[in-house]
């Protein structure tokens, strides 16, 4: 099969011919039809996340069709269409797994990071971490829901009942969570890269009532702020924008160092918290909610052969919405 291979030791990223995988007893073999690109893929490729499989096939927003399965698989039939997210395996035995926090599993493995992912024509996946795709979505439309959508959904839930929400970094996750927030009657304020008029216009089209650069002061005191950009300096900025008791949610898996800030910015019961991965419950809830809103994903598609270009376009913010590889 053709696949994108990241070789950390040689610092290489290329589309190559590699053996097609064979499913283990509890795995599905998928013919990948679409896989969205996430900023986490860039963190893997840039070596910012430790302990990656070597070499590894990136990609963790997979949509595919089941074409084979192991002898212990009982939940999916051949021909079923499924989605695969970032969380690809958990032990089921640690204290976190036992207490409903499998996203914090001590031994978790992640798709496109410790497990080969979906930048390929075929992929093997644990049946426990596959989900039926709502019929209303095409393969390309569904792919961004599987991480950009899920992480945005989990981040929004961490904001509690906040009415005014600031979103810092208006990429794939932000464009989906904005639609969820507006559906729930919240006000969205979008903070983009300074001077990024395209992103600001896009945010307003999706329902944001205000959009400007991240160096511009918020026009209102925010109840909560969601940070999707991997920029640590945005944390103090967001803290100064939220009101008393407000929450700043850092939604990325990696962020540059957070600079020091005066205690006064945190005082009066403001809080900072992070989002770590997702749970299967998140996926079940969000994929049921998405067609009810209905969430519309905005995508730019690339053939697998142009994966390197697609990753570069995501890195430099050359598109709105999500980039999706198709095979």
Choose which CATH entry (3.30.1280.10, 3.90.1170.50, 3.40.50.720, 3.30.60.50) describes domain 149-274: 3.40.50.720
Q: Given this model, what pLDDT does residue 56 score?
A: 98
Of 84, 63, 93, 97, the C-alpha closest to 128 is: 84
The percentage of residues in the chain with a pLDDT greater than 90, rounded to a whole number, is 98
Q: Lowest mean pLDDT: which of 71-75, 116-120, 238-242, 263-267?
A: 71-75
Q: 33 CB contacts (<8 Å, ≥6 apart)? A: 63, 64, 65, 139, 326, 327
For residue range 211-257, what is the model confidence (pLDDT) as tens digits?
A: 999 999 999 999 999 999 999 999 999 999 999 999 999 999 999 99
Would the pLDDT of 141 be above 90? yes
Q: Chain-wide mean pLDDT for the chain?
A: 97
pTM of this structure: 0.96
CATH fold for domain 2-147+278-326: Quinone Oxidoreductase; Chain A, domain 1 (3.90.180)
Beta-strand runs (E) in the chain: 2-7, 12-17, 27-36, 62-69, 81-84, 87-89, 109-110, 122-126, 131-132, 164-168, 187-192, 210-213, 222-227, 242-250, 271-274, 299-303, 322-326
Q: Given this model, what pLDDT does residue 285 score?
A: 98
| Whether the domain at 2-147+278-326 and the domain at 149-274 fall into the same CATH topology | no
**Mean pLDDT across the stretch 165-194?**
97
Q: Given this model, what pLDDT does residue 87 score?
A: 98
- Other residues' Cβ atoms within 10 Å of the Cβ of residue 15: 17
Residues 64 and 58: their CA atoms lie apart, in Å, by: 15
**Mean pLDDT across the stretch 277-303?**
98
Q: Given this model, what pLDDT does residue 11 score?
A: 87
Q: Given this model, what pLDDT does residue 75 score?
A: 86
Give phi and psi for 312, each to the nearest 5.
-65, -40
**Mean pLDDT across the stretch 42-70?**
96
How do the domains of the chain map onto residue ranges? 2-147+278-326, 149-274
């Amino acid at each position: 099969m053709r696949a994108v291979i990241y070789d950390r030791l040689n610092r290489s990223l290329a589309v190559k011919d590699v053996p097609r995988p064979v499913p283990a007893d509890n795995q599905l073999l998928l013919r990948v039809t679409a896989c969205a690109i996430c900023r986490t893929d860039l963190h893997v490729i840039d070596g910012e996340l430790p302990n990656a499989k070597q070499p590894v096939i990136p990609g963790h927003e997979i949509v595919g069709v089941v074409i084979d399965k192991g002898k212990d698989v009982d939940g999916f039939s051949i021909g079923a269409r499924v989605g695969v997210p970032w969380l690809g395996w958990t032990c089921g035995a640690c204290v976190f797994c036992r207490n409903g926090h499998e996203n914090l599993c001590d031994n978790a493995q992640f798709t496109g990071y410790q497990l080969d992912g979906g930048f390929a024509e075929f992929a093997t996946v644990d049946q426990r971490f596959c989900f039926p795709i709502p019929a209303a979505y095409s393969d390309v439309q569904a792919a961004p829901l599987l991480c950009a959508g899920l992480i945005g959904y989990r981040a929004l839930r961490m904001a509690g009942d906040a009415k005014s929400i600031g979103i810092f970094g208006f990429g794939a996750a932000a464009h989906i969570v904005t639609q969820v927030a507006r559906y729930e009657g919240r006000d969205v304020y979008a903070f983009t890269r300074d001077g990024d008029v395209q992103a600001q216009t896009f945010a307003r089209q999706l329902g944001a009532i205000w959009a400007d650069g991240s160096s511009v002061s918020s026009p209102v005191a925010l109840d909560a702020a969601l940070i999707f950009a991997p920029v640590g300096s945005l944390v103090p900025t967001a803290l100064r924008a939220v009101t008393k008791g407000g929450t700043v949610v850092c939604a990325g898996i990696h962020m540059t160092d957070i600079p020091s800030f005066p205690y006064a910015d945190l005082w009066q019961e403001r809080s900072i918290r992070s989002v770590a991965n997702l749970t299967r419950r998140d996926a079940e809830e969000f994929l049921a909610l998405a067609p009810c809103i209905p969430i519309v994903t905005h995508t730019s598609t690339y053939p697998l052969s142009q994966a390197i270009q697609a990753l570069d376009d995501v890195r430099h913010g050359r598109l709105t919405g999500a980039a999706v590889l198709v095979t």
